[in-house]
Structure 1
């Protein structure tokens, strides 16, 4: 923390801001919530950050024990960054912050959204409706990124990876998925236009997307949702 301006305040909130309040720090954490990433993967998810700034923020967060460096198992063996167990506790905190930001009555969110951010939004916005007692597994591909989404007993789990035997597979791009999630475009229209491809149980996919639609406005009472406990980084937004 040497050389950084900090709040001279003993409050826990002020201390948290000393640790993760620098520009880009929270977004770097967001990109690691679903699992570890290489330096180049982080730059891809955060195109607005320069390599020097990213390196500095990674050093800061490592010094604060929020993240650590690791190596993926062979044969990949890539050097990656992952959240520590303590850093992973930020998952629910950032989910709540994202919900609060999306419900702003003043300036609506705009700009590019990363694949991890969209999938974290799917998890955060999940509001079970009707009979959600059955289990369904989805593989969602956004560009080159792949995610496994599991819904069981009105709970949702999202992780990065390829599902071994999904009930439904959806492939699209981040812009199209963002439009579907926000309600600006229907899944059926995206499929007809060739902006997305899907196979398997499309009705289950429609139900999933309907349960993770646009967040309620500030005038509405926020719905409570059940989610899995934050997973240890193994990779998130």
Structure 2
């Protein structure tokens, strides 16, 4: 099914032939957040050509990674149980790639699904279990997310809602999550703008979400 056949009999080779083509794993990343319509996938991957998106969706279906399903008179794409097994792989890749991320380029964007997966990658349930339940309304670039932490459970949804702390931040959120910038310095330097609630809760956020750079 892959456009490139590596000619080797190996599990890693098979995995790359299933999801190693350009854009394929990013489609999987977004579908790990939830089922998506074709247009939603295209919007979340603004640089993908429409013919490539269609081709990748077809290849991923043929490989048993995703499936098409009717829902409320529209077709949505969702991961199969086999495809969902990629979640720890995607999270591990995200953590690995985070370590070599530099400053963002001007043309780079943060999509809601990408930020959701970053938070899931950085989430430390063992730390969260020792802290009070907290809801954060995070505006990261143009992405608005409601982040609810209750013990070791994390729930991230799009949009706004009641929150203990509301804050806005740009791509420099990486510096906060990595620990490069302490929460109080992030606020003092304008990297993070507290919109509602106590800035002290940003300390709790930084403790709950951390990735080593």
Normalised-by-shorter TM-score class: 0.7 to 0.9
Question: Aligned Cα RMSD in Å?
Answer: 3.3
The offset of 1:25, in angstroms, is 0.4
User: Hey, what does 2:68 align to over in structure 1?
Assistant: 69
Q: 1:156 to 1:52 in 2, by over 3 A?
A: same
Specify which of 78, 90, 96 is matched with residue 94 of structure 1. Answer: 90
In 2, are the aligned partners of 1:148 and 1:163 still within 8 Å (CA)?
yes
In 1, are the aligned partners of 2:140 and 2:171 still within 8 Å (CA)?
no
- Match runs of 1:1-237 below 5 Å: 1=1, 4-73=3-72, 78-104=74-100, 108=102, 110-111=104-105, 112=108, 113-127=110-124, 129=127, 132-142=130-140, 145-153=143-151, 155-162=152-159, 165-170=162-167, 172=168, 174-175=170-171, 177-178=173-174, 180-181=176-177, 183=180, 186-189=185-188, 196=193, 198-216=195-213
Unaligned runs of 5+ in 2: none
TM-score, scaled to structure 1: 0.70
Q: 1:175 to 1:78 in 2, by over 3 A?
A: farther
Q: Deviations over 1:114-166 (max 9, x none)?
A: 3322232222123455972422222334456443323233x242433457643
In 2, are the aligned partners of 1:132 and 1:152 still within 8 Å (CA)?
no
The offset of 1:215, in angstroms, is 1.4
In 2, Cα distance between the equivalents of 1:56 and 1:204? 45
Q: Aligned with 2:137: secondary structure? A: strand
In 2, Cα distance between the equivalents of 1:164 and 1:124? 23
Unaligned runs of 5+ in 1: 217-237
In 1, Cα distance between the equivalents of 2:53 and 2:71? 21
User: Hey, what does 1:229 align to over in structure 2?
Assistant: none
* Aligned residue pairs, count: 206
TM-score, scaled to structure 2: 0.76
Task: Give the structure with the larger helix fraction.
Answer: 2
In 2, Cα distance between the equivalents of 1:55 and 1:14? 23
Task: Give the structure with the larger strand fraction.
Answer: 2
- State which drifts further: 23-32 or 204-213: 204-213
